[in-house]
Amino acid sequence: MSETVPTSWLVYCRPGFESDALAEMQHHAKQQGVSCEPMQGEGWVSLTRLDEEPINDLHRKAAFKRLIFARQSLAAMPALTLSRDDRLTAILDQVKSSRWSFEEIWHETPDTNDGKALAGLIKALTKPLQSMLKKRGALRGKAGARRLHIFWTDGDRVQLGMSFPDNRSELINGIRRLRFPSRAPSRSTLKLEEAWHEFIPREEWDDRLAAHMQAADLGAAPGGWTWQLVQRGMYVYAIDNGPMDKQLMATGQIDHLKEDGFAWEPPQRMDWLVCDIVDKPVRVLAMVERWLTRKWCREAIFNLKLPMKKRWDEVNRCLTTLEEALETAGVRARISCRHLYHDREEVTVHVRLIN
C-alpha cells in the first residue's frame, strides 16, 4: 500500500465565518507561495495543495496562535466516504497508509445542530476504533504528543487530521465552554473571562490579574466586564454614562464615572484597560492607540466590532495599523487577536506592553 500524505490544511471555525477563516488561510498560503484549492462546509474550511505535496510546512508556519478565525488547525488527509455497513475499515486503511502514530484520538464535528446529532453514532464507534488502532500500533503511549482528529461532517463522511503540541487548540472542537456566573450583570462577562484563558497562561494569573491592581473599564455599564475585574480583587474605574449594577457597586471596589469612554483619561497608569464598546472599529482602535502609545496601561483587552463583509480584511488592517502606531511611538508590545467562542460579530484583541 502506497503512503498517503496530508495535503490539506483543515480549520474549524464559527458557522457563518467560513469566508473569513478561508481568507485568512489564503493570506498565509500566499505568503508561503503555496497554491491551494479552497473548500468549505458549515463550520469548517480547508486548503488543499494543488501540487499534492505534504501540507506540513504551511501548517507549521501558519502557527495556530497567530490565527484569528480558526478554532482548530490540522494537517489533514483527503476526506473519506464511509460505507454505512462498515464505517471503520476505510478509517483504519487510511491511518495505515499514512503511517501515522499518535497518543490520542479525538472525534469532533462542526458546531452545528447536524454535527451535534452525530454524537450517538460517534459514541458507538469510539471504543471499537480505539481498540483496533491500538492493536495495529498506531495508537500508542509515546508518539510525540501527536493527536488524531476524526472530523465527522456526516454519518458517512469523515476527514482525518493530525495536530501537534504547541500548534493546536487543546479544547474539543476548539471551543471553551464557560459557566455563566449568576451574579454577573450580563452575559458579556464570559467574553472577558474567556479572553483571560486564551491570552494569559493560567500559572501567571496571580501575578498579572492580582488583587492590588487597578483597571479601567470603558463602556462598562451594566458591569459584565467590571464584575470579572472585581472578582479578581481589582479596583475599577467604570466609565459609562449608563447605570451600573447596584449589587456590583455595593462591593466598594468601583469608581463609576459618568463620562465619555473615548475622551476619559486615567489619573495614573492603570494595570489593565478593558473595553467592549459597540462602535466602529476605527474609532475604538484610535482610542486604544492613545492609551497604549502614552503607556496609560500595562495590558489591554478590547473588542473590535466587525462589518458584515470582508471581516478578515478589516481585522488585518486594524492590527497592522496598531502595530505601526506602536512602532512609530517606540512602544514595544505583544499583540494577539482571536475570534473567541463567546464573541459574536467581533474579535477580541490583547496587548501587553513590554517594559
- Fold (topology level) of 8-174: THUMP fold (3.30.2300)
At 270, give phi and psi (nearest 5°).
-90, 150
Predicted confidence at residue 2, as pLDDT, reads 67
pLDDT at 1 over 70: no
User: What cell was used for 202?
Assistant: 493560567
Mean pLDDT of 139-159: 96
The answer on whether 206 is annotated among ligand-binding residues is no
SS (H, E, C) 156-167: CEEEEEEECCCC
Per the residue annotation, which of 127, 135, 142, 305 is the catalytic one? 305
pLDDT at 275 over 90: yes
Q: pLDDT class for 224, splitting at 50, 70, 90?
A: very high
Angle of helix 311-328 relative to helix 18-31, nearest 10 degrees, comes to 50
Please say whether the beta carbons of 88 and 38 come within 8 A.
no
The answer on whether 154 is annotated among ligand-binding residues is no
Predicted confidence at residue 308, as pLDDT, reads 86
Please say whether the beta carbons of 336 and 328 come within 8 A.
no
Closest by Cα among 310, 312, 301, 274 to 70: 312
User: What cell was used for 242?
Assistant: 449608563
The answer on whether 137 is annotated among ligand-binding residues is no
Q: How do the domains of the chain map onto residue ranges?
A: 8-174, 188-353
Mean pLDDT of 62-80: 97
Predicted confidence at residue 147, as pLDDT, reads 98
pLDDT one-digit tens code per residue, 231-246: 999 999 999 999 999 9
Q: pLDDT class for 108, splitting at 50, 70, 90?
A: very high
Q: pLDDT class for 249, splitting at 50, 70, 90?
A: very high
The whole-angstrom separation of Cα 294 and Cα 330 is 10
Give the residue ranges of DSSP H helices in the chain: 18-31, 56-61, 88-98, 113-116, 119-135, 189-199, 205-208, 224-231, 246-249, 281-293, 311-328
Predicted confidence at residue 168, as pLDDT, reads 98
At 119, give phi and psi (nearest 5°).
-55, -45
pLDDT at 143 over 90: yes
Catalytic, 135? Answer no
Question: pLDDT above 70 covers what percent of the chain?
Answer: 99
Mean pLDDT of 35-57: 96
Question: pLDDT above 90 covers what percent of the chain?
Answer: 97
Can you identify the CATH homologous superfamily of domain 188-353?
Answer: Vaccinia Virus protein VP39 (3.40.50.150)
pLDDT at 320 over 70: yes
**Distance of CA 190 to CAs 15, 171, 193, 245, Å?**
20, 17, 5, 16
Residue 42 CA from chain centroid, whole number? 17
The answer on whether 98 is annotated among ligand-binding residues is no
Across all residues in the chain, what is the average pLDDT? Answer: 96
The answer on whether 260 is annotated among ligand-binding residues is yes
The answer on whether 182 is annotated among ligand-binding residues is no
